[in-house]
C-alpha cells in the first residue's frame, strides 16, 4: 500500500554576494537568538525552578528586537528566528523525556550554519525558489528531479565547513512499496570487508578516510602552522574541511547505493544490533570503525525498508554469530579477530564473515 512520507531533497546552490551576505547575517541572528533563549531558560530553571515555554521565548524575541543594540534582529526574516526557538523547545522536550542530553549553546566555528524557512518566508514558482528578504531566486543545481507537482513545505539553507552552500526542500511524496520477492539476506558488517552477506558475497571496504589520510595530514599540518586569527588560517581550515567533505561524500554515496540494492533485492534484511559507541572505545579499531560508518548504514536500512515495504530484523548484540557453525550449530570456545577462516568438527570449512552472516540470517528468521 502506497504511503505519503515527508522527504527532504538536498541540492547545492551558488548564492550571489548579496544573497551570501544576507544568509550569513541570518545564520548569525539564528545562532544568537537560540543562545539567548537557551541562556534565559537555563537561568529560569536553575534560579527559580521554572520551565520557560516556547510562547514566552517568542515574546522575549519581540522584546529583544526593541533593544537598540539588538535592532539588527529586525533586519533579517523573522521566520528562521522563530524556527530556532521551536528547535530549542523540541530540544528541551526531548531532554525532559530523557531522549537526549541538555541542549548545548551554538558555536560560531563548530556549529552547523543553517536557517529554516517555512512557507510564509519563501516563494516557490515554476521551479524557482526565492527566500524572504531576497530580490532574486537561488541558483540551484538540480542534480535530481523533485516529485511531480511537489510543493516544498519547509526550506533549510546551510553552509558547511568547506564553504559549500546547500538548500534542502521538504516535500510530501507518495512512495509505493516494491514488488514482493522471496529473497532474504543476513548482513555481517566488518572492517576488512565492509559487509559480508549470507549469500557468500563480500563488499570490499574502500577505506575512504585511509585513502585520503596523507592528504588530510598535509592539510592539517599546514593549518597548525598558520597564526591564529589570520586569514591564512581560515583558508587552511577550509582546505582541511574540503578533504573531510570529500571523504564523507564518497562514503555516503557508497552506502546509499549498497543499501538501496539490498532493499530492492531482498524482502527481509537481518542485521546485528551493534553498540558502535562502546566499540569506539577500542582505540586500535576506532578509526577504522568510524570510516566504515556502520551506524549510518543501519539508519539508511531502517528508513528504506519502511518506505518500500521490506522488513528489517535486528538480532541481539550478544548473539555469538562468529562462534557458531552455520552447518551443525556447534559453538567454538573462542574466535579471535585474527582468525578469518576455520574448520568445524563436522567437516565444514567457514569463512568467518560469511558464516556470521548466515547465522545472523537464521537467528533473525527464528525471531520473527
Inter-residue contact 344 to 325 (CB < 8 Å): yes
Which is catalytic among the residues 22, 116, 272, 291?
272
The pairing of beta strand 165-175 with beta strand 184-189: unpaired
Q: Using alpha carbons, list the distances in angstroms from residue 252 to 23, 290, 297, 314.
A: 27, 13, 9, 22
C-alpha span between 192 and 204 (Å, rounded): 7
Phi and psi angles of residue 331, each rounded to the nearest 5 degrees, phi first: -110, 130
321 conformational bin, left if phi > 0, alpha if psi -120 to 50, beta if neither = alpha
What b/e sequence results for 267-300 when a residue is b if at least 16 CB atoms lie within 10 Å of its CB, and e otherwise? bbbbbbebebeeeeeeeeeeebbebbbbebbbeb
C-alpha span between 76 and 26 (Å, rounded): 6
Residues 6+ apart with CB under 8 A from 351: 196, 340, 341
188 catalytic residue (yes or no): yes
272 catalytic residue (yes or no): yes
C-alpha cell at 236: 587552511
Which is catalytic among the residues 22, 116, 209, 353?
353
C-alpha cell at 22: 544576507
273 catalytic residue (yes or no): no
C-alpha span between 356 and 342 (Å, rounded): 12
Query: Number of C-alpha atoms within 13 angstroms, CB side, residue 115?
Result: 26
Which is catalytic among the residues 22, 116, 188, 291?
188
List active site positions: 188, 272, 353
Amino acid at each position: 500500500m502506497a504511503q505519503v512520507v515527508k522527504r527532504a531533497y538536498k541540492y547545492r546552490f551558488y548564492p550571489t554576494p548579496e544573497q551570501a551576505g544576507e544568509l550569513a547575517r541570518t545564520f548569525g541572528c539564528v545562532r544568537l537568538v537560540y543562545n539567548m533563549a537557551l541562556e534565559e531558560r537555563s537561568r529560569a530553571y536553575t534560579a527559580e525552578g521554572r520551565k520557560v515555554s516556547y510562547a514566552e521565548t517568542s515574546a522575549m524575541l519581540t522584546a529583544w528586537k526593541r533593544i537598540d543594540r539588538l535592532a539588527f534582529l529586525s533586519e533579517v526574516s523573522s521566520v528562521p528566528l522563530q524556527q530556532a526557538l521551536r528547535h530549542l523547545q523540541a530540544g528541551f522536550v526531548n531532554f525532559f523525556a530523557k531522549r537526549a542530553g541538555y541542549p548545548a549553546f551554538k558555536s560560531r566555528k563548530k556549529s552547523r550554519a543553517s536557517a529554516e524557512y517555512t512557507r510564509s518566508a519563501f516563494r516557490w514558482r515554476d521551479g524557482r525558489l526565492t527566500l524572504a528578504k531576497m530580490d532574486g531566486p537561488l541558483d540551484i543545481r538540480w542534480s535530481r528531479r523533485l516529485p511531480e507537482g511537489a510543493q516544498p513545505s519547509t526550506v533549510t539553507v546551510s553552509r558547511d565547513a568547506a564553504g559549500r552552500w546547500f538548500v534542502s526542500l521538504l516535500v510530501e511524496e507518495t512512495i509505493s512499496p516494491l514488488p514482493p520477492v522471496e529473497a532474504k539476506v543476513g548482513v555481517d558488517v566488518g572492517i576488512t570487508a565492509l559487509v559480508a552477506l549470507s549469500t557468500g558475497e563480500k563488499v570490499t571496504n574502500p577505506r575512504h578516510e585511509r585513502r585520503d589520510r596523507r592528504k588530510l595530514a598535509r592539510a592539517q599540518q599546514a593549518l597548525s602552522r598558520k597564526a591564529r586569527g589570520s586569514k591564512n588560517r581560515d583558508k587552511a581550515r577550509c582546505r582541511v574541511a574540503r578533504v573531510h567533505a570529500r571523504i564523507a561524500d564518497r562514503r555516503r554515496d557508497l552506502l546509499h547505493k549498497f543499501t538501496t540494492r539490498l532493499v530492492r533485492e531482498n524482502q527481509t534484511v537481518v542485521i546485528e544490533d551493534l553498540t558502535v559507541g562502546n566499540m569506539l572505545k577500542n582505540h586500535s579499531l576506532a578509526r577504522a570503525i568510524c570510516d566504515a560508518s556502520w551506524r549510518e548504514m543501519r539508519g539508511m536500512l531502517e528508513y528504506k525498508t519502511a518506505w518500500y515495504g521490506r522488513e528489517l530484523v535486528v538480532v541481539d548484540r550478544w548473539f555469538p554469530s562468529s562462534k557458531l557453525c552455520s552447518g551443525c550449530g556447534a559453538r567454538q570456545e573462542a574466535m579471535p579477530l585474527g582468525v578469518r577462516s576455520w574448520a568445524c568438527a563436522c567437516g565444514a570449512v567457514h569463512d568467518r564473515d560469511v558464516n556470521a552472516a548466515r547465522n545472523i540470517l537464521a537467528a533473525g528468521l527464528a525471531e520473527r
